[in-house]
Every structure is written in C-alpha cells, then in structure tokens.
Amino acid sequence: MEEALIEFREVSKHYIMGDSVVKALDLVSFKIMKGEFVAIVGQSGSGKSTCMNIIGCLDVPTDGLYLINGRNVGEMNKNELSEIRNQMVGFIFQQYNLLPKLSVIENVEVPLMYGGVSKSERRRRATEVLSSVGLAEKLRHYPNQLSGGQQQRVSVARALVGNPAILLADEPTGALDSKTGREVLSLFQRLHEAGHTIVLITHDNSIASTAERIIRLEDGRIVYDGPTDREKLVHAGPAEGSAEHESA
C-alpha cells in the first residue's frame, strides 16, 4: 500500500493567549498522497495557516503526529527540520519575496546556492525551470521589470528548482488581478498534470475549486474532506472571496 506523503494523525495546535487556550487546530487527521492537488480552505481563524505552517515544517503540533514521507516531524531537531524545508518543500507565497537586486535567473538559483550546487548546474537547472513556466525570455530581467503574474511565475520556478516533493502555495493569487490569477492557477494545474504534489492554502472557494480535492476547516476542525465537485454541493453558495476582491 502506498505511503502517504503528508499525514496528520489527530494533530492539535494550541496557543496560550493570556489566561485562555486557543485551539488553532483540534484533532485534525488527513492524508495527502504523492501527485495529489489539494486545497486547504477556510476563513480567517479556521486553522488553515497553522495547518500550512505545520506541513511546511515551520511549526510543530502541540499534540498528535505529523508524518512527512513517513518520518515523524515531531522527533526532528532544528537542523533536520531545516533540511526538510530546503529539500522537500517548495514554498510559494502571496507576496513573491523576490530579491530586487538579483536578476530573474539569480533569484531562482538562490535555493540551490544554499544547497551547495555548483554554479554551472545552478544555471542549467534555473534556465530549465524558468522555461517550463514560460519565462525563457526573461532570464536577465529584474523583478521590477516584470508584471505581477510574471513575478509569481518566478517564485513558482524558484520553488520548483530544487525538485521538492511538495509545492506549498499560500494564497498564491492574492496579489493578482483575476485574469492573471487564472493564468497562475492554470500553471498549477499543468504542474499537477506533470505529477507534482500541490497543497494550496486559500480562503477563496473559487480558487480552491481548481484543485481536485478540498479539505475545509472551520474553527480548527475539518468539516469536509473530499472531491471538489461534491464539496460544491455540500457548501453551495457564493465564494467567500474572489481574485477581483483580493487585487489591489
């Protein structure tokens, strides 16, 4: 039987706020298999950001187990957690986090520099991955010379260049207009079709609907986990947010 790439076993995350305990996640369990495209969706305070931080090894559970590729994250030290983040997870954020003084190709090479990859190999891999996201003609440009959508494509390329097991995208269209947002989501769908495992974190139903599976959180608990089409019937109604609303 195939082992889950990501597995939560009754994961809870509690924070102390003054005299009270806030349950950001409360006994959350799910599995994500290699090659899946999953959206974790919920409103502010639902626990989705905490869930993302645990998946990305930026935080650890208070209780329960988080296994990544069968390894218990709770038993890892800081160096091991850093190694997992660098080698297994490619992060894509709402704000592109590109370095303005570096060219497009240099931005994409940054994770490989930390990994000790040779200059020639860095250049080869960065060129290849930028071509795969449609930016072969922009290698020498700088971030301020690109549109928002192109900058997000650079951040996707940077996440891909280390060939991570998981692409973890946090509100990746939040800073984009609706048309550009759809283009970025189409890129995610193509990456999924190519075999990449994608976990998309969003508050927006219309964004989540591009995934094949939805995990919906409310008040730190899962209220739905299943196919996107069936979720639309369970939670019928207008999207809580939209790309048009998010662009500024």
Number of domains in the chain: 1
Q: Give the predicted TM-score (pTM) of the model.
A: 0.87
49 found inside a domain: yes
190 found inside a domain: yes
Q: Tell me the pLDDT of the chain (248 aa) as tens digits.
A: 577 999 999 999 998 888 888 899 999 999 999 999 999 999 988 999 999 999 999 988 999 999 999 999 988 888 888 888 888 999 998 888 899 999 999 999 998 887 788 999 999 999 999 999 899 999 999 999 999 999 999 999 999 998 899 999 999 988 888 888 888 899 999 999 999 999 999 999 989 999 999 999 999 999 999 998 876 655 544 444 444 333 33
The CATH number covering residue 227 comes to 3.40.50.300
2 found inside a domain: no
151 found inside a domain: yes
Helical ranges in the chain per DSSP H: 48-55, 78-88, 104-114, 119-132, 148-160, 178-193, 205-208, 228-234, 243-246
Residues in the chain: 248
Residue range(s) defining the domain that contains residue 157: 34-57+76-246
178 found inside a domain: yes
